[in-house]
Every structure is written in C-alpha cells, then in structure tokens.
Amino acid sequence: MAAEVRPRLTVLSGPSGVGKSTVVAHMRKVHPEVWLSVSATTRKPRPGERHGVHYFFVNDDEFDKLIANGELLEWAEFAGNRYGTPRGAVVERLENGEPVLLEIDLQGARLVRDSMPDAQLVFLAPPSWDELVRRLTGRGTESAEVIQRRLESAKVELAAESEFDTTLVNTSVEDVARELLALMEVV
C-alpha cells in the first residue's frame, strides 16, 4: 500500500530584514496557490500594509482575547510588539491537504517545532552581517531605536541557525524562492 502523502507545514524564519517577506512575495507571484498564514499583530501598519492581507492588526485587548480563547497556534513578543499565528486557518488548510507556510520569528518556530514535530523549519540567512544591517536600514520602515532592537534580536536568531532543518542564504530572491518551493514540494 502506498504511504499517505501529507503536505507539510513549513516555517520560514530568519532575522528581521533578511528578506523573508520579499522571498515569499516573489514565490507567490510565481505560484499564487501557495498559502501563507496571515498573522495577528499588535504592531501598527506600515504604509501600504492592509488589514487581513499583510496582518490582522489588533490592539492589546484583542490580542489578549485571541490568546485566552486558544485561537493562536503560537505567539511571541518581538521588538516590543506581539505576533501570533491564527490556528483555525492553518489546521483547515492542512486537513484539506494543502501545503502551509508560516513566516514567523525564532521563538514561534521553536513553539511550532514542539507542538507539530512534522513541520519543516527553514532558516533564511543573510549573505553577511553588514548586508543584513544594510537591508534593514535601507527598508526605511523603522526608527533607529527599533532597528537597534531588531539587530539585537538578529544576533540571537543567527546563533540559533543550527536548530533549523535547512538554511537558505538570501543572496538572490529568485534562487531562494525556487529552493523554498522545492522544499515545500510545490514544484
């Protein structure tokens, strides 16, 4: 009898500014069928970010309720804001046999690994520390203070690379997107 083929949950993590969103956006331009979980966050929207598309932007009380009602698969505090993965949509997609992608921080990745050991954890690394600083600063979305906080977290995240199943180095967005699609068995 053939073994049951179950699509996997894939977690993409890596330091702030390494290019996770850029890679995922490119991947979904080429393969719109790839489903990305939309997280809830207490962070304020950046220009151009839309509720329900980039994030579900909620206030602290609403985030507390999501936690209390068990609606988050995982959640973490990152650089002064809270972020969490809505459980229902992820479970529904996996039950429908669709591959699922989460773009979350290291703390969230660790929680998913503990609760869903079948998940594959992919670490996106920068070509160098200087390039990471350039990308995060060059994006122009955060204040100098927030950039500093995110770079402090980046040191911790980079030191945890060995906890992941696979590392992809983001030198070329197109190459990494292709490699991620292959890992997700979409192509």
Ligand X SMILES: Nc1ncnc2c1ncn2[C@@H]1O[C@H](COP(=O)(O)OP(=O)(O)OP(=O)(O)O)[C@@H](O)[C@H]1O
CB of 76 within 8 A of CB of 111?
A: yes
**Contact of residue 42 among ligand X, ligand LQESDW3C, none (CB under 5-8 Å per partner type):** none
> Which residues does the annotation place in the binding site?
14-21
Q: Which of 11, 42, 94, 103 binds ligand LQESDW3C (CB under 6 A)?
A: 103
Residue closer to ligand LQESDW3C, measured from CB, 72 or 99: 72
Residue 113 engages ligand LQESDW3C in binding (rule: CB under 6 A): no
**Contact of residue 39 among ligand LQESDW3C, ligand X, none (CB under 5-8 Å per partner type):** ligand LQESDW3C
Q: 79 to 98, contacts with ligand LQESDW3C by CB under 6 A?
A: 83-85
CB of 101 within 8 A of CB of 10?
A: yes
Q: Which of 20, 110, 113, 135 binds ligand LQESDW3C (CB under 6 A)?
A: 20
Residue closer to ligand X, measured from CB, 22 or 81: 22
Q: Minimum CB separation from ligand LQESDW3C for residue 108, in Å?
A: 2
| Residues near ligand LQESDW3C (CB under 6 A) | 16, 20, 39, 43, 74-76, 78, 83-85, 103-105, 107-108
